């Protein structure tokens, strides 16, 4: 008896989050974060596309990207998102691009800071006036990091993700 194939939902459960216009280095650098759907043939579901990212070890590993020309009230660089991860593993490197895999930390809902859209990140942002920090370029003031997203976290906690990052020239534009 042949196995029945699982039907792919018409509308994706996970909306693609394009942060290229609001994250640093997007003109020259691109990062794709995909959720690996283990229940459907290990298919990669595109999730986040942005400019450059940082992978940091601060008690636990996390992935974050910074907003372009945006700071918080103290003039610290504002983050576009932050995802706590476990089991970071290098997969391969080719032509200046690097691919990693990891799992979204299953017990860190406060650290999971992913917006629902680029517009959400800039909501309430205002231009910095009379800047005493002597910035040459104009910049905006916004929140340091997006608010926790408990619904999205519950959907994704413990999920495997693939992270591919590198020069934009290595990618076909959509």
Q: What is the pLDDT of residues 93-117, one digit of tens each?
A: 998 999 999 999 999 999 999 999 9
- Give the C-alpha separation, 86 to 111, whole Å: 13
Cα distances (Å, whole numbers) of residue 63 to 48, 86, 117: 12, 11, 18
Task: Supply the pTM of this predicted model.
Answer: 0.84
Share of the chain above pLDDT 90, in %: 57
Contact 106, 85 (CB under 8 A): no
**Cβ atoms within 10 Å, residue 174:** 6
Note the pLDDT of residue 127. Answer: 86
pLDDT digits (tens, 9 = 90+) for 24-73: 999 999 999 999 976 666 678 899 999 999 998 877 899 999 999 888 88
Residues 6+ apart with CB under 8 A from 113: 79, 81, 82, 83, 145, 146, 147, 148, 149
Residues 6+ apart with CB under 8 A from 152: 112, 114, 116
For tokens 């003109």, the residue is 27
R_g (Cα) of the chain, nearest Å: 17
Cα distances (Å, whole numbers) of residue 100 to 34, 70, 145: 11, 28, 24
- Give the C-alpha separation, 47 to 35, whole Å: 7
Boundaries of every domain in the chain: 17-170
- Give the C-alpha separation, 163 to 125, whole Å: 29
């Amino acid at each position: 008896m042949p196995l029945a194939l699982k039907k792919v939902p018409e509308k994706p459960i996970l909306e693609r989050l394009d942060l290229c216009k609001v994250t640093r280095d997007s003109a020259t650098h691109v990062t794709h974060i995909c959720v690996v759907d283990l229940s459907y043939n290990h298919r990669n579901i595109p999730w986040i596309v942005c400019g450059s990212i940082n992978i940091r070890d601060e008690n636990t590993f996390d992935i974050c990207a910074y907003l372009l020309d945006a700071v918080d009230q103290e003039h610290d660089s504002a983050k576009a998102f932050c995802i706590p991860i476990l089991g970071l593993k290098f997969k391969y490197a080719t032509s200046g691009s690097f691919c990693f895999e990891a799992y979204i930390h299953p017990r860190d809902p406060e650290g999971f800071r992913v917006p629902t859209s680029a517009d959400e990140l800039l909501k309430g942002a205002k231009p910095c006036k009379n800047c005493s920090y002597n910035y040459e370029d104009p910049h905006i003031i916004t929140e340091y990091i997006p608010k926790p997203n408990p619904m999205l976290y519950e959907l994704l906690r413990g999920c495997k993700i693939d992270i591919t990052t590198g020069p934009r020239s290595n990618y076909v534009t959509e």
